[in-house]
């Protein structure tokens, strides 16, 4: 003879298990940002997938319990009266806190390690990074990552390639299968460099050389936006012409850029550029 | 009855929640929304447009396009307006009467003209001795001599505007002429890349942050 509480629990458990599996399966079909154009975006999408796997059962459990209670323990017609007294359940409470703590700590640990990897470039050498090539391709060996400077200005980003005598470009071009080091700075106010599909977002501050890393894996275009409110045209500070291209196309492009840059009086390449004067005129 | 209301309410809310989440995350496949590419007809006559602008050190010193009653007569500005309308798929010729002195580019990269027809702009200007000169240029020789730029980032158009020489006679102007091509219809933002807002931090305040002075819209229709 099964006690009525057991019946409720059993029903809930079965419904929870079935709906959770369905929820996770549906959740994993979603196209999660930022995609798979770089190792960093794959890592970030993976983290979101993990969060779907862990949080869907929690969400389903809470909502199911509330809805089930609303229907199963509803006050029938008749006089209003107090419900049965309920007492705390120590085992349930301990389990509840412990499971929550474990889930949150696992996510925190994974998140911190990924943040750390992104901040220090250690994900360059992770096992899923592109094979270290011995050929002359750009950015494929750890010691020779492609150095790209991102210069923010109200209201446009330009890019300088330190390895190619500091030539400057209107659009961000990167070779595929390359380790890239971004040096991000600003010539005026605070901006933020956000290359959406590459999974890169980092502050662009005047007088600061902010470093972040990306490993490109797929060719294709990407969007660059400013992610820090920086003035009246902040919303227009974007460029959809960024692209990851083949190593050969990159070589052709950078050669042409060097020719085009010959007549431009660029300042020497520096980690950052101080604007002057601080207050213009009177 | 109450049960029906409850079920309906829960149903509607769940549906809305699903729509909300689904709408954010699931993308409509491109094959469902794509329309056949339109190809410009060969018989369409080539359209051309002409824009005449003036850049001044302060609105109240305007020669070509005076703007009396402007709330900020001492501000640097493009005149007569910064809302420009041009036809799509056409060649737009721009003439700018540039009367302001040099401010200097924050990023010297903008000294190079980009995205204009032929790669060069025509300029009548005054040399260091105040003698009138004329020529075609792809850049200005000294980034510090720029007064303003005319730039439409989304169209890749960037044109530096040389500051008027100190030796030039009073009331004179550099006249810069260039052309660029418009593509499909849309609203494109354009702006000056020289931080020219006098009296503000790094020159980026005032007219640089206000529609109608150093920035505006190019409406392509």
The pLDDT of residue A194: 95
Q: Is B88 on the interface with A (CB under 8 A)?
A: no
The pLDDT of residue B39: 44
C-beta atoms of A265 and B6 within 8 A: no
Angle between helices A39-72 and A90-120 (to 10 degrees): 160
Model pTM?
A: 0.79
Q: Which of B109, B184, B203 to mutate to test the interface with A (most CBs of A within 10 A)?
A: B109
Locate the chain A residue with the closest alpha carbon to B210: A232
pLDDT in tens, B4-39: 777 788 888 888 887 777 765 555 545 455 554 444
The pLDDT of residue B158: 94
Contact B118, B74 (CB under 8 A): no
C-beta atoms of B198 and A265 within 8 A: no
Locate the chain A residue with the closest alpha carbon to B29: A31
Contacts of A189 in chain B (CB under 8 A): 202, 204
Nearest-neighbour CA in chain B from A159: distance (Å): 10
Q: How is residue A263 annotated by DSSP?
A: T
The pLDDT of residue B217: 92
Say which of B108, B199, B210 has its CB closest to residue A281.
B199
Contacts of A281 in chain B (CB under 8 A): 198-199, 203
Contact B79, B55 (CB under 8 A): yes
C-beta atoms of B199 and A280 within 8 A: yes
Say which of B139, B158, B198 has its CB closest to residue A280.
B198
Which long-range contacts (C-beta less than 8 Å, at least 24 apart) are formed by A16-22?
Answer: A16/A57, A16/A60, A16/A61, A16/A64, A19/A60, A19/A64, A20/A56, A20/A57, A20/A60, A20/A61
Question: Angle at Cα A50 formed by Cα A22 and Cα A55, nearest 5°?
Answer: 60
C-beta atoms of A31 and B114 within 8 A: no
Nearest-neighbour CA in chain B from A1: distance (Å): 31
Contacts of B142 in chain A (CB under 8 A): 265
The pLDDT of residue A132: 34
**Low-confidence residues of chain A, pLDDT below 70?**
1-4, 121-144, 275-282
Q: Is B184 on the interface with A (CB under 8 A)?
A: no
Report how far residue A39's alpha carbon sits from residue B207's, in angstroms, rounded to the nearest whole number. Answer: 43
DSSP string computed for B3-41: HHHHHHHHHHHHHHHHHHHHHHHSPPPHHHH--PPP---
Q: Is B202 on the interface with A (CB under 8 A)?
A: yes
Query: A33 — phi, psi (to 5°)?
Result: -70, 160
pLDDT in tens, B160-191: 999 998 888 888 899 999 999 998 899 999 99
DSSP string computed for chain B: -HHHHHHHHHHHHHHHHHHHHHHHHSPPPHHHH--PPP---TTSPPEEEEEEEEEESSGGG-SSS--TT-S-TTS-EEES-SEEEE-SSEEEEEEEEE-PPP---SSGGGGB-BSSGGG-EEEEEE-TTS-EEEEEESB-S-GGGEEEEEEEGGGTEEEEEEPPPTTSPTT--EEEEEEEE--SSEEEEEE--S---TTSBTT-SGGGGSTTTSEEEEEE-
Q: Is B120 on the interface with A (CB under 8 A)?
A: no
Contacting residues for B149 by C-beta, under 8 A, at least 6 apart = B105, B110, B158, B159, B160, B161, B192, B193, B194
Q: Is the pLDDT of residue B85 over 70?
A: yes
Contacting residues for B183 by C-beta, under 8 A, at least 6 apart = B88, B89, B155, B220
C-beta atoms of B108 and A265 within 8 A: yes
What is the number of residues in chain A? 282
The pLDDT of residue A126: 41
Report how far residue B19's alpha carbon sits from residue A250's, in angstroms, rounded to the nearest whole number. Answer: 42
The pLDDT of residue A127: 36
Domain ranges of chain A: 4-73+94-123, 142-261
The pLDDT of residue B203: 83
Burial class (CB in 10 A: 0-12, 13-18, 19+), A256: exposed
Pick the closest to residue A196 from A153, A239, A151 (CA basis). A239
C-beta atoms of B210 and A232 within 8 A: yes
Say which of B109, B142, B201 has its CB closest to residue A278.
B201
Contacting residues for B14 by C-beta, under 8 A, at least 6 apart = none
Contact B176, B162 (CB under 8 A): yes
Say which of B106, B114, B202 has its CB closest to residue A170.
B114
DSSP string computed for A96-151: HHHHHHHHHHHHHHHHHHHHHHHHHTGGGGSTTSPP---SS-TT-SGGGPEEEEEE
Beta-carbon contacts below 8 Å between A and B = 91
Q: End-to-end CA distance of chain A, in Å?
A: 91
Contact B40, B88 (CB under 8 A): no
Contacting residues for A112 by C-beta, under 8 A, at least 6 apart = none
Contacts of A69 in chain B (CB under 8 A): none
Nearest-neighbour CA in chain A from B209: distance (Å): 5
- The fold of A142-261 is Immunoglobulin-like (2.60.40)
């Amino acid at each position: 003879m099964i006690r009525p509480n057991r019946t409720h629990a059993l029903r809930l458990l079965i419904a929870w298990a079935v709906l959770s599996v369905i929820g996770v399966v549906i959740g994993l079909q979603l196209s999660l940002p930022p995609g798979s154009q770089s190792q960093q975006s794959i890592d970030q999408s993976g983290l979101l997938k993990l969060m779907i796997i862990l949080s869907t059962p929690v969400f389903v459990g809470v909502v199911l319990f509330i809805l089930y209670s609303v229907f199963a323990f509803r006050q029938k017609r008749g006089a209003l009266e107090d419900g049965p007294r309920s007492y705390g359940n120590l085992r349930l409470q301990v389990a509840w806190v412990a499971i929550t703590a474990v889930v949150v700590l696992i996510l925190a640990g994974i998140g911190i390690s990924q943040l750390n990897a992104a901040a220090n470039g250690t994900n360059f050498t992770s096992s899923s990074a592109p094979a270290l090539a011995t050929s002359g391709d750009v950015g494929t060996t750890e010691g020779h990552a492609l150095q790209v400077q991102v210069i923010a200005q109200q209201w446009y980003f330009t890019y300088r390639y330190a390895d190619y005598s500091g030539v400057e470009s209107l659009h961000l071009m990167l070779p595929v299968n390359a380790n890239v080091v971004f040096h991000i700075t600003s010539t005026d106010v605070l901006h933020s460099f956000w290359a959406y599909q590459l999974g890169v977002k980092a502050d662009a501050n005047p007088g600061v050389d902010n470093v972040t890393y990306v490993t490109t894996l797929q060719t294709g275009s990407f969007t660059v936006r400013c992610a820090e409110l920086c003035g009246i045209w902040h919303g227009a500070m974007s460029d959809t012409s960024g692209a990851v291209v083949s190593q050969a196309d990159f070589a052709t492009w950078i050669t042409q850029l060097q020719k085009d840059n010959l007549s431009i009086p660029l300042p020497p390449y520096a980690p950052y550029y101080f604007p002057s004067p601080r207050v213009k005129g009177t | 009855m109450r049960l029906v209301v409850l079920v309906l309410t829960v149903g509607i809310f769940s549906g809305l929640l699903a729509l909300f989440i689904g709408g954010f995350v699931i993308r409509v496949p491109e094959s469902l929304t794509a329309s056949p590419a339109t190809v410009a007809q060969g018989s369409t006559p080539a359209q051309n447009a002409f824009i005449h602008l003036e850049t001044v050190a302060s609105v109240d010193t305007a020669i070509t396009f005076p703007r009396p009653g402007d709330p900020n007569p001492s501000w640097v500005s493009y005149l007569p307006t910064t809302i420009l309308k041009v036809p799509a798929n056409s060649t737009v010729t721009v003439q700018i009467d540039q009367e302001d002195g040099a401010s200097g580019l924050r990023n010297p990269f903008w000294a190079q003209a980009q995205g204009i027809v032929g790669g060069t702009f025509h300029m009548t200007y005054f040399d260091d001795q105040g003698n009138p000169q004329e020529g075609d240029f792809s850049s200005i020789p000294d980034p510090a001599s720029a007064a303003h730029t005319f730039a439409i980032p989304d169209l890749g158009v960037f044109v530096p505007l040389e500051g008027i020489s100190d030796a030039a006679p009073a009331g004179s102007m550099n006249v810069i002429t260039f052309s660029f091509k418009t593509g499909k219809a849309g609203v494109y933002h354009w702006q000056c890349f020289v931080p020219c807002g006098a009296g503000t931090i790094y020159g980026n305040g005032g007219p640089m942050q206000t529609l109608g002075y150093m920035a505006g819209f190019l409406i392509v229709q």
